A and B are shown apart, each in its own frame.
Chain A
Amino acid sequence: MSEPLLQVNAVTKTFGGLHAVFQVSFQMNSGEIIGLIGPNGAGKTTLFNVISGFYAPNKGQIHFKGQDISGKPPYKLAVLGIGRTFQVVKPFAGLTVLENVIIASFAKHPKRRQAEQHAWKILETTGLADRANAQASSLTLAGRKRLEVSKALALEPTLLLLDEVVAGLNPTEADRTIELILSLRNMGITILIVEHIMRVIMNISDRVVVLNFGQKIAEGIPRDVAMDSGVIQAYLGEAPL
């Protein structure tokens, strides 16, 4: 095995004295899908924001493709190959679906024409091609989540961070999105996914990292983690696994 794609090394992020993320370490190998789970407020989104460059870690380092990326701004990481979605979707509401994806395509295709061709390809992959010329604000929630993935995908990322892209969808839509995620893995994209719906995480993840109160309390293959007493305790009172 060569060196890991992403290495998170004792990362701590505090807000006004509160540890949102405390000394979390884990690593991701190329082609893996890792599920990041934990109760509400466990620090999952904060960790996402640290990895994608929206927050600089107070302590610890993050290495991506062997390069120290801690504290680099998001727009540099995007070009380096880290794509992300937002839990609260952020479409460019006043623009069309196609324009949304073209903007993301500029990272690898600076020319307008190439970017547009690339955007069409992405929309076909994600199944939004028939809505390409609609205003982004006219999409349904499922459509917006799909657009969110399309934009991140248009960066041609090596690492994709997905923040609750399934939650809130009806079962049919959810299944389509899960299919999409698995097909992305087949394209060679490494995926870190936060999701509340355990069925999803347990089915598609190769490994699972569990956070509670900002600390990593377990890591392993889904079956083992589900049996872990600490994890069960953390989830007591929440939905059973």
Chain B
Amino acid sequence: MSRKYLLLILAFGILLAVPSVIQDTFFLRIITEAILWIGLAISWDVLAGYTGYLNFGHGAFFGVGAYTTALLMNLCGCPFFVALPVAGVVAGIVALIAGIPTLRLKGAYFAIATWALARAVQQVALVMDITGGPDGMRLPTYLHPGFFYYLMLGVVAGIFALYWFLLEKAPFGLKVKAIREDDQSAMSLGLNPTKIKLQAFILSAIPAGILGAIYAYWITYIDPASVLGDLVTDQAVVMAVFGGLGTLIGPAIGAIIIFSFKTYFWAYLSNYQVLYLIILGGVIAAGVVFLPNGIWGTISGYLQTRRTLKQEPVVQEKTDKGAHHV
């Protein structure tokens, strides 16, 4: 256990040193975006992996955060660090409103309702004058790759630490898992499933909004197709499922693998960008069939079985070690 977190701290240390080693802004940019995707994938997994509710509209929170920032900075001249928390709060409020009617119901309703939400939000951005319609919005330019790198790293590390504390250390994590395992039993033990799922949903939406805010200020140009398009959600889902649901490390691993692949693919096969969709879809469909616990779930399940076998060479428990990762 502690070795795993030592490795994480080591990884964080290496990432801190990256800008002083790598001067190439192109690579810095790629690593910044990779960190962004780690944040999006784990924030998606907080709801999906821990409560079992699939949010197919996660991109809406990202986009809402981005547009909130753009609007605040352009219309009221707000400084970025005022807009940033507001973006998170607005995303959280959207989650609250969308979650109340849908989280009482079965997961399938929620899945498509969130998807419809994302399309509706995109539609709003497309038809409103204030958001620039399909032309999108431009933000004040601040060209400082190092600043964005450290901001992204700090925020994602903060999100990771917060999630780790809440889900693995604090009572909240066990409550959430109880609801995923059996909501009737959880109810009979004093837990209000709708309330806890709503909390998890908001907890998953706020970081997405904040990441959207950073993205908007960093890229300086947003439009409905880029920040509110399906691709944001699609990628976050594939990364988390492929990496392994119900853990924090799994989606991070998934994000790194899928994002590296995407970067490579788009750089060398730029004429075939739509092929990427086919591969993304294929990866997730095949993953569900052949690796239902994701990469990390499979690896840690394998390690755990080996450890158990070493301890009790004869008796092997019949339980499915990987089950709780999904």
Q: Which residues of A contact B (CB under 8 A)?
A: 52, 54, 73-75, 78-79, 83-84, 86, 90-95, 99, 102-104, 106-107, 110-112, 115, 135, 137-138, 151-152, 154-155
Contacts and interface: CB of A to CB of B under 8 A. Distances in A.
Contacts of B189: 75, 78, 103-104, 107, 151-152, 154-155
Given A73-B192, A95-B178, A106 B171 contact: yes
Q: Which of A54, A73, A74, A155 has the most CB of B within 10 A?
A: A74
Given A86-B188, A106-B190, A92 B177 contact: yes
Nearest to A108: B190
Nearest to B170: A112
27 contacts: A73-B187, A75-B190, A75-B192, A78-B189, A78-B190, A79-B190, A84-B188, A86-B185, A91-B181, A91-B182, A94-B177, A94-B181, A95-B174, A95-B177, A95-B324, A103-B186, A103-B189, A104-B189, A104-B190, A106-B171, A112-B169, A115-B171, A135-B321, A138-B317, A152-B188, A154-B189, A155-B189
Contacts of A84: 188
Given A137-B319, A138-B319, A52 B188 contact: yes
B317 A103 contact: no
A137 B185 contact: no
Nearest to A80: B190
Contacts of A91: 181-182, 185
Contacts, number: 89
Contact of A75 (B177, B181, B187, B321): B187
B58 interface: no
A90 B186 CA distance: 9
Given A138-B317, A138-B318, A95 B190 contact: no
A92 B318 contact: no
**Closest 6 pairs (CB-CB, A-B):** A94-B324, A107-B190, A78-B190, A92-B181, A90-B185, A104-B189
A102 B174 contact: yes
B117 interface: no
Given A86-B185, A92-B185, A151-B189, A103 B318 contact: no
A92 B33 CA distance: 38
Interface residues of B, number: 26
Contacts of A92: 177-178, 181-182, 185-186
Contacts of B319: 135, 137-138
B97 interface: no
A138 B315 CA distance: 12
A20 to B, nearest CB: 18
A92 B50 CA distance: 13
Contacts of A86: 184-185, 188
Contacts of A99: 174, 177
A74 B187 CA distance: 6
A155 B190 CA distance: 8
B145 to A, nearest CB: 41
Contacts of B318: 138
Given A103-B178, A106-B175, A112-B171, A94 B323 contact: yes
A96 B266 CA distance: 45
A99 B185 CA distance: 14
A104 B324 CA distance: 19
B320 interface: yes
A65 to B, nearest CB: 16
Given A90-B182, A93-B323, A137-B320, A103 B187 contact: no
Contacts of A155: 189-190
A90 B191 CA distance: 15
Q: Which of B185, B189, B323 has the most CB of A within 10 A?
A: B189
Q: Which of A103, A115, A151 has the most CB of B within 10 A?
A: A103
Given A86-B188, A95-B174, A104-B189, 17 more contacts: A54-B184, A54-B188, A78-B187, A83-B188, A90-B184, A94-B324, A95-B177, A95-B178, A99-B174, A102-B174, A103-B186, A106-B175, A110-B171, A115-B171, A135-B321, A137-B320, A138-B317
